[in-house]
């Protein structure tokens, strides 16, 4: 009973300390995913194919270093535990990488810009792995209950939303009505780096001794004897993980395209100025915050797989609806949607803001449940292999996603070149090119979605199975109610 109470106190005490670093992480990831390709292409003048190639190659490198770092951290043993030393080293490298990407210059030629992008993004990606994978592993080991993990990932999302709000507020103030200010990107990078360092250093310092207090399994533990290759083969045999990773990775192709194209869509498809777009994002924050704050109650006694399938279907059907209507208006000369380019006092602004708020809430809850489903694989895998391998599992979760995401980003660079989106193109040519990209990415979503949903439906772990796994492993923490 004493061990049970100790774990309950530990989880309540450190949950927010763990989650706070998501504020800096959320801001930095939003900055990189939204602006990196656009900055190098439209601001520095690097060819779009080379932009896509550089980012894709970094993802391929990252995909293969992830399992190594995750597996090594699983088998590490230091004074501060398995995770904290890697987090401490990785956070400084990640901050340095972002600084170099947006502030350093190796030259102005295409070769120099490509070399700069490739070198600095690899540093950033590998450092990101060293911080975020051990960090996620720490949270999953700290909180093991079926429904409590929903709270873990919901709290993480709350702080992540806070970080993105700070980021979007910064770009609204700094960019004003011009997306192409080089000094603006440098200024935003300093804000993002500062937020990341402050929140991450605080979290790492406060959590430096926490692993020594974690509950240990009562069965044989072969974690340190399980190498990366052996662990990967054993993980592939886990039906729930295999089907879930295939399903989510296929969505990664569409997600990477959407992320890269987002700034192009904002600028040339919807004709939003920076301050107008950030106001839309600000109005979507309440939906995201309400979803994250209420997720634990909304998901109580809900089966995770069924919840994900329903929410994903909602996202697929409602998410691209406005884009589809806009494409129809452009291609057929209709006026289904209100006119674009009229700013914040238009009906389109209100419609997009409402749509964004609703979809933000759906995405947040769906992301929480997906993360929780992957977390529950840890004990299922441990029961079968006697190895507690959070680092390996979490890192491999991103491996196929990053490979396919890299394919998506490389494809985006190819598509930008093929549709004639160059620095010398006229505004009208750029708008026509982005419309073609919108058609392609929307069609791809509807092709991939049914296949992804089929694989996700094969996930087997429910509450009964998970609690059985905890009991078989000798853990009491599945019964802890974290508030």
What local confidence, expressed as pLDDT, does residue 482 receive? 47
Residue 204 has pLDDT above 90, yes or no: yes
Confidence of residue 1 (pLDDT cuts 50, 70, 90): very low
Q: Cβ contacts of residue 2 below 8 Å, gap of 6+? A: none
Q: Which helix (H) or strand (E) holds 438?
A: helix 427-456
Residue 425 has pLDDT above 50, yes or no: yes
What local confidence, expressed as pLDDT, does residue 68 receive? 87
Q: Which residue has the higher pLDDT, 393 or 199?
A: 199
What local confidence, expressed as pLDDT, does residue 256 receive? 72
Residue 28 has pLDDT above 80, yes or no: yes
Span 376-386, average pLDDT: 92
- Which of 315, 308, 310, 311 lies closest to 355 in space, CA to CA? 315
82 contacts 134 by C-beta, under 8 angstroms: yes
- Which of 449, 272, 238, 427 lies closest to 344 in space, CA to CA? 272
324: DSSP letter: H
Q: How far is CA 54 from CA 73, 77, 123, 129, in A?
A: 28, 35, 13, 18
Span 31-49, average pLDDT: 87
470 contacts 330 by C-beta, under 8 angstroms: no
Angle 96-100-104 (CA atoms, 0-180°, nearest 5)? 145
3-state secondary structure (DSSP) of residue 143: coil
Q: How far is CA 309 from CA 138, 157, 291, 304, 313, in A?
A: 28, 20, 17, 9, 6
325 contacts 317 by C-beta, under 8 angstroms: no
SS3 content of the chain, % helix, strand, coil (to 5): 80, 0, 20
What local confidence, expressed as pLDDT, does residue 404 receive? 66
Span 160-174, average pLDDT: 87
C-alpha 268/C-alpha 427 separation (Å) is 8
231 contacts 387 by C-beta, under 8 angstroms: yes
Confidence of residue 477 (pLDDT cuts 50, 70, 90): low
CATH superfamily for domain 21-207+222-474: MFS general substrate transporter like domains (1.20.1250.20)
Residue 20 has pLDDT above 60, yes or no: yes
Confidence of residue 402 (pLDDT cuts 50, 70, 90): low
Side-chain half-sphere exposure of 145, counting CA atoms within 13 A: 20
Confidence of residue 408 (pLDDT cuts 50, 70, 90): low
Confidence of residue 465 (pLDDT cuts 50, 70, 90): very high
426: DSSP letter: -
Residue 442 has pLDDT above 70, yes or no: yes
Residue 113 has pLDDT above 70, yes or no: yes
Residue 38 has pLDDT above 50, yes or no: yes
Q: Which residue has the higher pLDDT, 283 or 363?
A: 363
**Which of 41-55, 144-158, 193-207, 271-285 has maximum average pLDDT?**
193-207
Span 377-385, average pLDDT: 92
Confidence of residue 436 (pLDDT cuts 50, 70, 90): confident
User: What residue spans define the domains of the chain?
Assistant: 21-207+222-474
What local confidence, expressed as pLDDT, does residue 480 receive? 47
Q: Which residue has the higher pLDDT, 112 or 434?
A: 112
397 contacts 238 by C-beta, under 8 angstroms: no
pLDDT one-digit tens code per residue, 239-267: 999 999 989 888 877 777 777 677 788 88
């Amino acid at each position: 009973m004493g061990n049970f109470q100790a774990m309950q106190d530990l989880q309540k005490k450190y949950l927010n300390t763990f989650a706070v670093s998501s504020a800096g992480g959320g801001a930095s990831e939003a900055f990189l995913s939204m602006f990196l390709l656009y900055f190098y292409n439209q601001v520095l003048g690097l060819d779009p194919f080379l932009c896509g190639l550089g980012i894709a190659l970094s993802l391929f490198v990252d995909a293969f270093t992830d399992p190594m770092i995750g597996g090594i951290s699983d088998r590490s043993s230091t004074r501060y535990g398995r995770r904290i030393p890697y987090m401490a080293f990785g956070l400084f490298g990640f901050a340095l990488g972002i600084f170099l990407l947006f502030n350093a210059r190796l030259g102005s030629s295409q070769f120099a810009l490509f070399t700069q992008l490739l070198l600095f993004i690899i540093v950033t990606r590998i450092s990101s792995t060293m911080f975020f994978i051990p960090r996620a592993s720490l949270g999953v080991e700290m909180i093991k209950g079926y429904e409590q993990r929903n709270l873990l990932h919901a709290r993480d999302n709350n702080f992540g939303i806070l970080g993105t709000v700070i980021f979007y507020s910064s770009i609204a103030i700094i960019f004003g009505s011009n997306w192409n200010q080089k000094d603006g990107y440098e200024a935003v990078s300093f804000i993002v780096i500062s937020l990341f360092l402050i929140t991450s250093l605080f979290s790492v310092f406060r959590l430096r001794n926490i692993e020594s207090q974690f509950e240990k399994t009562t069965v044989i533990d072969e974690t340190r004897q399980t190498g990366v290759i052996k662990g990967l083969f054993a993980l592939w045999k886990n039906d729930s993980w295999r089907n879930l990773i295939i399903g989510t990775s296929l969505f990664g192709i569409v997600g990477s395209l959407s992320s890269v194209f987002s700034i192009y869509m904002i600028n040339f498809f919807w004709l939003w100025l920076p301050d107008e777009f950030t106001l839309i994002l600000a109005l979507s924050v309440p939906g995201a915050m309400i979803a994250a704050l209420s997720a634990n109650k909304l998901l109580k006694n809900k089966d995770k797989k069924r919840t994900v399938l329903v929410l994903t279907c909602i996202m697929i059907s409602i998410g691209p609806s406005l884009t589809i209507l806009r494409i129809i208006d452009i291609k057929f000369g209709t006026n289904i949607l209100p006119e674009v380019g009229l700013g914040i006092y238009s009906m389109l602004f209100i419609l997009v803001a409402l749509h964004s708020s609703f979809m933000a809430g759906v995405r947040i809850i769906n992301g929480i449940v997906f993360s929780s489903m992957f977390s529950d694989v840890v004990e299922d895998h441990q029961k079968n292999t006697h190895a507690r391998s959070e680092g390996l599992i979490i890192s491999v979760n991103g491996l196929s996603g990053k490979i396919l995401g890299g394919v998506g980003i490389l494809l985006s660079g190819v598509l930008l070149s093929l549709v004639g989106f160059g620095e010398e193109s006229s505004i009208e040519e750029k708008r026509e090119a982005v419309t073609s990209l919108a058609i392609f990415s929307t069609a791809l979503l509807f092709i991939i979605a049914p296949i992804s949903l089929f694989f996700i439906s094969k996930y087997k772990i429910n509450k009964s199975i998970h609690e059985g796994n905890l009991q078989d492993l000798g853990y009491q923490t599945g019964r802890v109610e974290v508030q």
